[in-house]
Amino acid sequence: MKARITVTLKSGVLDPQGKAIEGALSGLGFSGAHNVRQGKVIEMKLDETDEAAARAKLEDMCKKLLANPVMENYSIELTA
Amino acid sequence: MKSSVIVFPASNCDRDAAVALEQATGKAPDMVWHGDAELPATDLIVLPGGFSYGDYLRSGAMAARSPIMRAVIEKAKAGTPVIGICNGFQILTEAGLLPGALMRNAGLNFVCRTVTLKVENNQSMFSSAFSKGQSVNFPVAHHDGNFFADSETLDRLESEGRVVFRYVDNPNGSARDIAGIVNDSGNILGMMPHPERVISPLLGGVDGAAFFKGLVDAVG
């Protein structure tokens, strides 16, 4: 299975990089773009074939390494 | 007194820390590689500054999961004094030994200069050399030093006297100007500024020498 994990800063956590991107977009003339937030995407292939088991494993990976629960949220997408 | 410095790939203040410890204890510390599973007998552990694992994923994230950290966590929980300086502070938060996280500096710039800190609590073993409210000057050199924690955690740190050092002029956006905190048992300190870089007039200051000397006296 293929997995895509998206890690984003929790709402309320200041994202200075997002702010800088927002400023740059505005400088390029893209008006009306607000609340720009920067995150990261982690992709991987898993040997696991059972979706529930794969999801449980990915949850564990996110909690132990891929995301920092103090400041980040994560979401998991799985495809065959 | 025996001390140890943990060396991660891309630590870069490990030798500075070693010189500071040798000056304060009279004995060179053991330099312990991150891939080792065990620590030598030690009365004090220093996690030095640097850019361990190239700051991949998050600053300190990889180092916090390296083999030696299991031994460091075990010793820290048993009461051995541990100091994390700069990247070491990031590693301690990532390892769950200290609350909060160190995020990208609010101004987005790498900040490299000497800053003045106020000693908020001199009852800690890490600050007994100083008087409460004293100003000390330590250099900072970091990109991710913006201390973040939820307001409940910040309130608890404040009310329990666990904010040991505070910036006089906040260089990185840290919540409540926090520069250094201790854990609830008081044996683990994390701080972004570098006391090991000011241990001699030749290096531009001696506040760091007082820091290490005070700690060694307190640990005994």
* Every domain of chain A and the residues it spans: 2-79
Examine the residue annotation and report whether B120 is marked as an active-site residue of this protein: no
Q: What is the 3-state secondary structure (H, E, C) of B99-151?
A: CCEEECCCCCCCEEEEEEEEECCCCCCCCCCCCCCCEEEEEEEECCCEEECCH
Residue A12 confidence (pLDDT): 86
- At residue A14, does pLDDT exceed 90? no
- At residue A78, does pLDDT exceed 90? yes
Examine the residue annotation and report whether B13 is marked as an active-site residue of this protein: no
Alpha-carbon span B5 to B168, nearest angstrom: 29
Q: Cβ separation of A68 and B100 shorter than 8 Å?
A: no
Q: Cβ separation of B108 and A65 shorter than 8 Å?
A: no
The class of domain B3-219 in CATH terms is: alpha beta
Nearest C-alpha neighbor of A22 from the set B115, B192, B108: B108
User: Domains of chain B: which residue ranges?
Assistant: 3-219
Residue B220 confidence (pLDDT): 78
Q: Taking CB atoms and an 8 Å cutoff, what residues of chain B touch A14?
A: 103, 106, 146, 148, 173
Q: Taking CB atoms and an 8 Å cutoff, what residues of chain B touch A17?
A: 104, 108
- Whole-number average pLDDT of chain A: 95
Mean per-residue pLDDT, A33-42: 95
For B79, which DSSP code? T
Residue B148 has its nearest CB partner, among A20, A66, A71, at A71
Burial of B171 (0-12, 13-18, 19+ CB in 10 A): buried
Residue A73 confidence (pLDDT): 96
Report yes or no: B173 at the A interface, CB cutoff 8 Å. yes
Task: Report which secondary-structure segment, H or E, holds B68.
Answer: helix B67-77
From B210's Cα to the closest Cα of chain A, the distance in A is: 33
From B11's Cα to the closest Cα of chain A, the distance in A is: 20
* Distance set, CA A66 to CA A8, A42, B9, B36 (Å): 11, 8, 20, 23
Residue B106 has its nearest CB partner, among A14, A64, A68, at A14
From A9's Cα to the closest Cα of chain B, the distance in A is: 10
- The beta-strand segments (E) located in A10-49 are 40-45
- At residue A80, does pLDDT exceed 90? no
Q: Taking CB atoms and an 8 Å cutoff, what residues of chain B touch A16?
A: 104-108, 173
Residue B185 confidence (pLDDT): 97
Q: What is the pLDDT along chain B (220 residues), one digit of tens a residue?
A: 999 999 999 999 999 999 999 999 999 999 999 999 999 999 999 999 999 999 999 999 999 999 999 999 999 999 999 999 999 999 999 999 999 999 999 999 999 999 999 999 999 999 999 999 999 999 999 999 999 999 999 999 999 999 999 999 999 999 999 999 999 999 999 999 999 999 999 999 999 999 999 999 999 7
ipTM (interface pTM):
0.87
Report yes or no: A32 at the B interface, CB cutoff 8 Å. no
Tell me phi and psi for residue A38, to 5 degrees.
Answer: -105, 135
Q: What is the CATH number of domain A2-79?
A: 3.30.1280.10
For B88-147, the pLDDT digits (tens) are 999 999 999 999 999 999 999 999 999 999 999 999 999 999 999 999 999 999 999 999
